[in-house]
Structure formats: C-alpha cells, structure tokens
Amino acid sequence: MVDRVPYLDLVAQMKPIRADINKAIAENLDRCSFCLGPDVEQFEKDFATYCKTSHAVGFNSGTSALHVALRLLDIQPGDEVVTTPFTFVATSWAISYVHAKPVYVDIDPKTFNLDPRKLEAAITPKTKAIMPVHLYGHPFDVDGILAVARKKGIPLIEDACQAHGATYKGKTVGGFGVAAGFSFYPGKNLGAYGEGGALTLNDAKLAARAKSLREHGSTVRYYHDEIGYNYRMEGVQGAVLKVKLPYLAGWTADRQRVARRYNSLLKGLPLQLPSEAEGCESAWHLYVVRHPKRDDLKKHLEAAGVGCALHYPLPLHLQKCYASLGYKQGDFPESERAASECLSLPIYPELTEKQQDRVAHVVRQFFTS
C-alpha cells in the first residue's frame, strides 16, 4: 500500500523548529506583548532586510495590508484600479474596500500574470493605481508594467502575497512600486500560526502612515488623524515569524529543487509544465500544470490519494460578488482558459523524493492507462 501524498503538510515544517517556536512564544507570553510589541518590531526589521526595502509594516493579514496600500494613495470612491482577474479574490477586495472599481486586464498564458501588452488599453483618466500579482510566486513582468505605469504616471502596488523572496532581474520583489503586500497565512511560503501580513515600502512617511492606519488612524493614543482600522499584527505571530524568517531562503531553495525535479519527472507528457520567464526566479508558492482534461486528471489523482488543488477555478470577473461590474464570459479568454485547465500539484520544502516520485507516477498513469 502506497502512502497518500497530502497537498500540504504544515506539521512537517513545524516539527524540526518546534523547540525554537515554543521558546519564542513563551517569551512573548512572559512579556504579554500581545498586539504589536517588540517581537513584531523585530520581525518588521528583519523582513524589510529580507525584501531589501527600507521599511516593513506588520498587519493582521495580507488583505489588510493591500487595503492600506490603496489608502496610502488616497484613492476615492469611483476611482479605478487596474488588476488581474486571475488571482485570489483578496486582491480585488482591497480595491472594493476603498470603494474603487476593479478594472481587469487579461493574463499572459505562459506566466499567468497580468499581460503588460494589454495594460495601456485599460487605463482611463480615473485609473489611480496598477496592482498586479506575482501569481504562484512567479514575478510579473516588472519592466513591462512599469514602462506603462511611468508613461501614464500611475503608481504601482505589488500583490506579493505568494512571492516572498522571488526575484526579477536579480531584485527581490516588494520594492518595485509604492508598496507591496505580503501574506503570512499558514499555507503561504512564510506562514504564521494564525493570520498575518505585511507591507514593504521605501518611504518613511508612507510607512508611518501605514502604521497609523493599521492602528485606528492614530499615532498618539485616543487622538485620531484619519479613519483607520484595527489591522495590528499579533505579538505571538511576530514571535513565530521572527523565528521562521531565517529558514525562508532555504525553504525557497527546497521549493525550487522540488519544482525542477517535477519538470524532469513529468517531461514528455502532453501536459504544460510551469517555467520561469527570462530574468525571473519564482518563489514556487505553487506548482501548476495545465491540461484541457484537468477535471479528469484531478479525479484520477484524488482517487490515488494524491492531493491537488485548483488555483483558481473561476476568474474574478465571473464571480457572483462582482456581477455588478458588468463583465461577461469571454471578456478575458486567457484567464478563463487557465481557470479551466490549471491544476496545482503538492509542493512544499518538506516534500520527499519518494512522495514526489509517487505524484509523478500517478500523473503519468493518467496518460498511459
């Protein structure tokens, strides 16, 4: 009997670092610094260093971080923000939370990221920001998008929630625009033991405003400069993340090793495999293959005890919650096709070669039986 291969295994990652985590949490409890506090501050410093930005600001989620990024641009109701329809819904939540309108641009089918060739046509006098996503951990076409952004004078916000440590032309993502949002949801490349997020920035004033916005719009307690939020990072999450961050580079290298090994194990099958575009190093948050009979392949894997997942089965322009935007089937054909063909295979630093061989064997079986 062959073992199941889980889609994700958070226990395997925690076990070897459990003692250090316990110690850091115990120290946090000793201090009772539950909301923000020294552990969060330490993590913010370390994470800014990791992303090579001057500042990082901790949040209670990636969604909150992206919301505040748009607040920093003083976006008004009725303004437009250009983004991708092929992403996790939270990218668009940030836009909706500032009462702006998400304007979608289709993806490049090779990288699944916003296609810069289609960007300029979507820009109007109301466009106040461009917010592409480094989807699956693969950097978007930074030069292509920045060229349009600069020409039009529109600020860039990165959704880097899946891309901790990914690089574009040797530069770590997170510092290409006004701000970048990261998520530390447990399943992300750097996961908290609960919810968490961060903004990285290269401007002291904006970083200070982001800190104020996450804490009720105040810098002096009970004096509120603008309408803010309770978006503080918990002290315990700061303690956990501060312990985990030094492992991230090694974990990313392990993900890359797993991805390359999949590419060689699955070579020659009638299956589109992921690759890195010129100048890009993916953080390999996900390993996504595509095939027209994706649903059958998924059933086959599940029947054999191999975990897999869909990222994402329905593009945002076709979601019920965004019906009022007035988009219809056929508006973004590449996103729609990707949504029907994509399948995410298990990828995490702790995935063993034996497990990976099993996944590849079961995938191969689909095409030979």
Q: Tell me, what amino acid is at 258? A: V
In sequence order, what are the residues at sequence separation of 6 or more whose Cβ sits closer than 8 angstroms to the Cβ of residue 285? 136, 137, 162, 163, 188, 189, 255
The answer to whether the CB of 241 falls within 8 A of the CB of 78 is no
Q: Is position 92 an interface residue for ligand PLP (rule: CB under 6 A)? A: no
Tokens at residue 48, please? 């800014």
Distance CA(178)–CA(153), nearest Å, equals: 12
The pair of structure tokens assigned to 203 is 């401007």
Q: How far is the CB of 197 from ligand PLP (least distance, A)?
A: 5
**Beta carbons within 8 Å of 245's beta carbon, 6+ residues apart:** 43, 46, 47, 50, 190
Residue placing its CB nearer to ligand PLP in the complex, 141 or 366 = 141
87 binds ligand PLP (CB under 6 A): yes
One of 86, 185, 251, 262 touching ligand PLP (CB under 6 A): 185
Please report whether residue 158 would count as binding ligand PLP according to CB under 6 A: no
Residue 237 binds ligand PLP (CB under 6 A): no
Both tokens assigned to 356: 């990976």
Instruction: By CB under 6 A, tell whether 161 contacts ligand PLP.
Output: yes
Applying CB under 6 A, the span of 46-54, 159-167, 169-177, 267-275 interacting with ligand PLP comes to: 159-167
Q: How far is the CB of 61 from ligand PLP (least distance, A)?
A: 3
Hey, what are 113's tokens?
A: 């990221």
Q: Extract the tokens encoding 65.
A: 């971080």
Nearer to ligand PLP, 291 or 311 (CB): 311
Residue nearest ligand PLP, CB atom distance? 62
* Residue 84 within binding range of ligand PLP, rule CB under 6 A: no
Q: Does 339 bind ligand PLP (CB under 6 A)?
A: no
- Site track 291-330 with ligand PLP (rule: CB under 6 A), x = hit: ----------------------------------------
Question: Which of 112, 116, 155 lies closest to 312, judged by CA?
Answer: 112
Q: 43 near 177, Cβ under 8 Å? A: no
Indicate the angle between helix axes 38-51 and 18-31, nearest 10 degrees. 130
What DSSP string runs through 111-171?
T-SB-GGGTGGG--TTEEEEE-B-GGGPPP-HHHHHHHHHHHT--BEEE-TT-TT-EETTE
Q: Does the protein bind ligand PLP through residue 133 (CB under 6 A)? A: yes
Give the residue with the Cβ less far from ligand PLP, 183 or 256.
Answer: 183
Q: Dump the DSSP string for 56-116.
A: EEEES-HHHHHHHHHHHTT--TT-EEEE-SSS-THHHHHHHHTT-EEEE-PBPTTT-SB-G
36 versus 90: smaller Cβ distance to ligand PLP: 90
The span of 19-27, 67-75, 156-164, 276-284 binding ligand PLP (CB under 6 A) equals: 156-164
Residues 17-76 that bind ligand PLP (CB under 6 A): 61-63
Choose which of 197, 235, 346, 349 interacts with ligand PLP (CB under 6 A): 197
Nearest to 312 by CA among 341, 334, 283: 341
Task: Tell me the closest approach of the beta carbon of residue 231 to ligand PLP, in angstroms.
Answer: 11
**Binding of residue 162 to ligand PLP (CB under 6 A):** yes
Residue with Cβ nearer ligand PLP (73 or 90): 90
- The stretch among 68-76, 98-106, 123-131, 157-165 that binds ligand PLP (CB under 6 A) is 157-165
CA distance 194 to 216: 22
Q: Is 159 in the site for ligand PLP (CB under 6 A)?
A: yes
CB of 91 to ligand PLP, least distance (A): 5
- Chain residues binding ligand PLP by CB under 6 A are 61-63, 87-88, 90-91, 133, 159, 161-162, 183, 185, 197
